Amino acid sequence: MIILISFLAGIPDALKESAEIDGSSQFGTLLRIILPLSMPVLATLSLFYAVGRWNGFQDTLMYITKPELYPLQLKLYQMIQNSQVSDLMRMEGNAISTVVPESLKAATVMFATVPILLVYPWLQKYFVSGVMTGAVKG
């Protein structure tokens, strides 16, 4: 929200006033001037939100009880937790649980990051300019 507020504060009032003088309504000014100018900020905030939702598994832990509905991140979390437990059991001499190979964990992590890596190049130009919005004054 701080990024969005600092961007909206940086839009010159002259743009809004010129649209008003030309006969644009407030809604028209929003659609024709403010929204196109704020595309970098909206893309940046969308990317932040998407990555947060993609990587989140706490909601699943609280609300979903059927294991077949678990998202990839929760399954990855469970696999890593199970491997840590099996490592501890192996250190104590109880090797009854199955061990998840490190290569399988690494492959799962890569598989979980691929969708974000595919989306990022299309949003990169907006992302960089959106992050830099409040940083440089001139």
Q: Which residue has the tokens 């947060």?
A: 52
Residue 1, amino acid:
M
The share of the chain scoring above pLDDT 70, in percent, equals: 78
> How many whole angstroms separate alpha carbon 2 and alpha carbon 19?
26
Cα atoms in the 13 Å half-sphere on the side-chain side of 122? 6
pLDDT tens track for 112-122: 888 878 877 77
> How many whole angstroms separate alpha carbon 30 and alpha carbon 24?
9
Residue 86 confidence class, pLDDT cut points 50, 70, 90: low
